[in-house]
Amino acid sequence: MSEPEIATKAPESDLAERSAIPGDSAVDQGPSLGEHCVTDRPTPSGATPTGQITKFDDIEAYVTKPADYPHAPSKLLLLLTGGTGVHSTNNQLQADKYASEGFLVVMPDQFAGDPSTNTTSTAPTNSSPSLIEQVKLGIASVAKSFTIDMWLARHTPEKVLPLLHRVLAAIKEEYADAVANGGGVYAAGYCFGAKYVLLLGSELHQDVVQGQRAPETQAEEGMVTQGPAIKCSAIAHGILGKADLEGVKVPTSVVAVEGDPLFPDEVRDAGKKDMEERGLEHELQVYPGVPHGFAVTGNYDDQGIAQAQKEAFAQMLAWLKAH
């Protein structure tokens, strides 16, 4: 079925890791991918994924279905992950949670077999590390940041969007009954995947869909647009810029983290204002005191974070079910 369990340790908050050397602004290069985007929390004890890895148009995907499908009608949900990808046990369990609520879930490999490296982050045992230890931590942080940025450069909209549209075309044919029952394809996205859920919920020029041009670059005059490719979206702690929420055209639920450098408060507030002015059906809930990535399945010792994780899933699920 799936590959062996991936459950690497991540800190309760990745924000503290962004500058390991006091006063060294060179370490903090601004928003990229956070620790929670590229590592998994410890997997819940005894939890085992129930779906399977298959392929659509030669693209790997994890598929999980309601227990009574196809005897009972279902709706098709496209689930897009953070950097850990489709072979992450936690991501598979996240998909299973939606399947247990009646969705037929397809979670495609957005990264064409190249997920982020699941590096283990271990805090030093000395509560007051020496200067040399701080320097070593800083060097490690810079190296990790560089590796993540190189990985991001390989996975741009020009690469990812054509892949997702190939998967969509295949699953619409394979699961036409679920598409018809839901009146279209639903989509949920976490971290890296949130941006692409919003792009799929936008009107894009044909050359952007085909990967010939980045979404933010100038379109040729008269270029045909298409989309949205989904009917409803729900996203959690996305890595988002101002244009991402401004482009979405479908009902959208947003789970946001207060003070998240990967989705800054000012960008979030501007996006909310834009959706309100356009009359777009939406909801936006800000969760304080939680780290970026908190909504993805995985254990937290902090019960406040664990409870917020449950609430975020309930928010997204309720939105998808209501539409």
Contact 299, 278 (CB under 8 A): no
67: which 2 tokens?
């227990």
179: which 2 tokens?
């598409």
- Map residue 228 onto helix, strand or coil: coil
Angle, alpha carbons 240-108-55 (nearest 5°): 165
Tell me which residue of 309, 270, 269 sits closest to 289, measured CA to CA: 309
Identify the helix (H) or strand (E) that includes residue 104.
strand 103-108
Identify the helix (H) or strand (E) that includes residue 55.
strand 52-56
Q: Which CATH architecture has domain 14-322?
A: 3-Layer(aba) Sandwich (3.40)
Return d(Cα 149, Cα 239) in angstroms, integer.
13
122: which 2 tokens?
């271990």
Domain spans in the chain, listed from the N-terminal domain onward: 14-322
CA 313, 314, 319, 322: dihedral to nearest 10 degrees?
Answer: 140
Tokens 């005191």 found at: 289
pTM for the structure as a whole: 0.81
55: which 2 tokens?
């392929």
pLDDT in tens, the chain (323 residues): 444 343 433 333 333 333 322 223 333 333 445 566 677 888 888 889 999 999 999 999 999 999 999 999 999 999 999 989 999 999 999 999 999 999 999 999 998 887 776 533 223 334 444 555 444 334 444 444 545 677 666 768 888 999 999 999 999 999 999 999 999 999 999 999 999 999 999 998 787 888 778 888 877 777 788 879 999 999 999 989 888 999 999 999 999 999 999 899 999 999 999 999 999 999 999 999 999 999 999 999 999 999 999 999 999 999 999 99
- Dmax over CA atoms of the chain, in Å, equals 64
